[in-house]
Amino acid sequence: MRLLPVLLLVTAAGPAAAADWPNFGGPYRDNASRETGLLTEWPKGGPPRLWLRSDLGSGYSAPAVIGDRIYLMGGDGKDEHLHALDAATGKTVWSAKVGPLYTNDYGDGPRGTPTVYDGRVYALGGTGDLLCADAATGKPLWSASLTALGGEVPGWGYSESPLADGGRVVCTPGGPKGTLVAFDAGTGKVVWRTDGLKDPAMYSSVAVAEVGGGGQYVAVTREHLFGVAPADGKVLWKVPFGSNVVVAQTPVVAGDRVYITASGGTGSRCYRLAAPDRAERVFANKVMLNLPGGVAAFEGHVYGYSDGRGWTCQSLRTGEEVWPGKELPKGTLTVADGRLILLTASVRDGGGPVAGAARAAGPDGGSVTPAARCARLPVGQRAAPIPGAEQGRDQLRGLLPVRRPVHRERSGDESGGYTPLRVRGPNRSELRKS
């Protein structure tokens, strides 16, 4: 059994209007921050560090940020815990046990990101234990087990981040009793299970779509991409996905478009929600073959690392490649203040992680060229962190998106890089040197 120490690093990135990051991928689960006024240039070596925590346990959990609190999970000894930290000082406000420690050759501990909703925090551990705690005090309010509901722990652990919406908390236990389950957010009582869909759980989280004046929950498994009714879990539509690899990406919802991608021979698919119960395919191709890090949506485009292509911009309207870039290794990203902020899994020049602005052309071609450097990740970083920006601070976190820079140590000889890239326009994407 290997423990991966989690280090939580917060850096100052300049003034910005306060905005919350309540769950995985941000408010809309699209890896896009609505922050503005972030620094366009960074000092040499990156923004100054405000504080650092290195005792939060093991795992790949990403932080959620609400007001002056940071919520995240970590594994310690034989258990997994949910922590609340003071965002200004990094000090622990409270901690609560989630469940037993999930162990795995690729690293022990929780995988999901806490979700903060209506004064409560919902945290799903790697073995399928779901905790609801009071956000202010950490008092446990209710708990549930996805395996007790008929689910089977996926090969790399339950990695989902719960969806809280409309008084419900939605998770993916998978299995013969129904792929999805909805709990009453206040009591933990099971409200519904999906009817007619029994796919096993993967590593993706559930997203919300609005279509035809109403909402629905969109989810993906290895077998299907589908939408269900929030009130009763009825499957409204489903289309085959048929991925030949694990599916860890959360569906991207942009207007009436639903986009999903995976690596291997699967590629990307985009559907238009023509009606609440009908999804029409817009395109299916292999422009985006994304396994680690997920993708971010911004003004009609999707950005991510595509195996064999490098960092890629893909049109949500046509599915065509807008620009590729191969100058940086694979990694993860978010969109903040009109820029892509990347955290690469390694750097190729041996000089430490990459940070700053980059330069490229518009839809007729382009590249991703680093222009500055930021704080070094520990040697041997193997996680796939996704950066974000909230309340004027930059944040990075392990396998899942992401707000505050979180670094964890592993054996090896590579380090990660952190790069903001300028993005412009719904029909023209540029990377400009700041």
Residue 7 pairs with which residues in a beta bridge? Answer: 407
Cα–Cα distance measured from residue 129 to residue 350, given in angstroms and rounded to the nearest whole number = 41
* 364 falls within a domain: yes
In the predicted structure, residue 401 carries a pLDDT above the cut 60: no
Least confident of 152-156, 269-273, 337-341, 383-387: 383-387
pLDDT number for residue 376: 45
Q: For the domain that residue 77 is a member of, what is the CATH number?
A: 2.130.10.10
Cα–Cα distance measured from residue 179 to residue 154, given in angstroms and rounded to the nearest whole number = 13
- Whole-structure pTM value: 0.84
pLDDT in tens, 7-52: 455 555 443 335 789 999 999 998 888 888 877 666 776 667 788 8
* 433 falls within a domain: no
Q: What is the biggest distance separating any 2 CA atoms in the chain, rounded to whole angstroms?
A: 56
Which structural domain, as residue segments, surrounds residue 262? 6-422
Cα–Cα distance measured from residue 228 to residue 195, given in angstroms and rounded to the nearest whole number = 9
Tokens 């009714």 label which residue? Answer: 229
* 430 falls within a domain: no
pLDDT in tens, 185-226: 999 999 999 988 999 999 999 999 998 778 999 999 999 999
The number of folded domains in the chain is 1
* 275 falls within a domain: yes
Residue 78 pairs with which residues in a beta bridge? Answer: none
* 94 falls within a domain: yes
Mean pLDDT of 323-340: 77
Distances in whole angstroms, Cα of residue 298 to Cα of each of 207, 255, 425:
16, 11, 9
Strand spans (E) along 49-114: 49-53, 64-66, 69-76, 79-86, 92-100
List of long-range contacts for 315-322, beta carbons under 8 Å, 24+ apart = 316/254, 316/257, 316/259, 316/270, 316/282, 317/282, 318/283, 319/268, 319/270, 319/282, 319/283, 319/284, 319/285, 319/287, 320/287, 321/287, 322/363, 322/366, 322/429
pLDDT number for residue 346: 58
* 397 falls within a domain: yes
Q: First-to-last CA distance in the chain?
A: 45
* 434 falls within a domain: no
